[in-house]
Amino acid sequence: MPTIVFASPKGGVGKSTSAVLLGVELARKGAAVTIIDADPNKPVSDWARRPGRPPNLTVRADVTEDTVIDEIEAAAQRTAFVIVDLEGTASMMVAYAISRADLVIIPTQGSQLDAAQAAKAIKLIRQQEKAFARQIAYAILFTRTSAAIRPRTLGFIQDEFRRHGVPAFDTHLHERDAFRAMFSFGGTLEALSTSQVSNLDAALVNARAFAAEVVTMLRRGPRDEAAPAEAGAAEMGADR
């Protein structure tokens, strides 16, 4: 069953947040989900230890470079969706996880520095495509953007990705207090109360739109050859 890998060599871009939001939303829709917490800091396991984790969402931790592929394969047998949350570094673990992905999501904040890191992730995907002689679907996910305004720099970066044929989610995960609160309190967005966080409804709409777009992308499969990852990555500065 589909494996969705969150990868970016940069820490703090929203990988773990987006991975949990996706897992919770897929579980809410009734699917069995495994999140493989492949980050030694175990952010997803910390969330799962708090109350309110959906019963059909399992978190697997203590994953190593030697076991990550087996973990992904075993989870794919058991549950309808497998989500892998990775550490923000380039490692063999990241390469192995990408090699098994049906979709790699690259969370990116709207700065030029982040865009260059995203390009590095794309380069790694391309290497895994060559190593395993298969295409791997991927897309940039803009995170922590403002729901109200689109700064010039973000617009510029979006245009740059587009020009290089790098796919990106239409949905951005906006900067939302609720997305942080979910990690503080545990459980799902739905279970947060409006007295705990502001703008909960907007956060729910945002998370659902993101999960729906992930499902659409999984259905669509890898891009066509019109947008090779290599060209995009090289021109975006991954070689620098």
Ligand X SMILES: Nc1ncnc2c1ncn2[C@@H]1O[C@H](COP(=O)(O)OP(=O)(O)O)[C@@H](O)[C@H]1O
Give dist(CA 156, CA 165) in Å, integer. Answer: 14
SS3 letters for 81-129? Answer: EEEEEECCCCCHHHHHHHHCCCEEEEEECCCHHHHHHHHHHHHHHHHHH
Considering only residues 71 through 110, tell me which ones interact with ligand X, judged by CB under 6 A: 88, 107
Q: Select from 3, 117, 128, 143 the one that contacts ligand X (CB under 6 A).
A: 143
When asked if residue 12 is in the footprint of ligand X (CB under 6 A), the reply is yes
Residue 55 and residue 34: Cα distance in Å, rounded? Answer: 11
Token pair listed for 114: 């982040």
Q: Which is nearer to Mg ion, 45 or 199 (CB)?
A: 45
Contacts of 80 (CB under 8 A, 6+ apart): 1, 2, 26, 31, 32, 33
The answer to whether residues 235 and 164 touch, using CB atoms and an 8 Å cutoff, is yes
Which amino acid makes up residue 143?
T
16 forms part of the interface with Mg ion (CB under 5 A): yes
Q: Write each residue from 208 to 237 as x if it is in contact with ligand X (CB under 6 A), else as -, in one continuous string.
A: ------------------------------
Give yes or no for residue 158 binding ligand X (CB under 6 A): no
Mark residues 130-169: x for contact with Mg ion by CB under 5 A, - for none.
Answer: ----------------------------------------
Which residue, 16 or 128, has its beta carbon nearer to Mg ion?
16
Partner whose footprint covers residue 180, from ligand X, Mg ion, none (CB < 5 to 8 Å by kind): ligand X
9 or 54: whose CB is closer to ligand X? 9
Query: Of 70, 66, 89, nearest to 78 (Cα)?
Result: 70
Contact with ligand X (CB under 6 A) among 13, 33, 68, 125:
13
Burial code (b: 16+ CB inside 10 Å, e: under 16) for 211-233 equals beebbebbeeebbeeeebbeebb
16 binds ligand X (CB under 6 A): yes
The least distance separating Mg ion from the CB of residue 16, rounded to whole angstroms, comes to 3
Q: Which of 169, 61, 161 is nearest to 105 (CA)?
A: 169
Q: Interface residues with Mg ion (CB under 5 A)?
A: 15-16, 43
Q: Interface residues with ligand X (CB under 6 A)?
A: 11-17, 43, 88, 107, 143-144, 173, 175-176, 179-180, 183
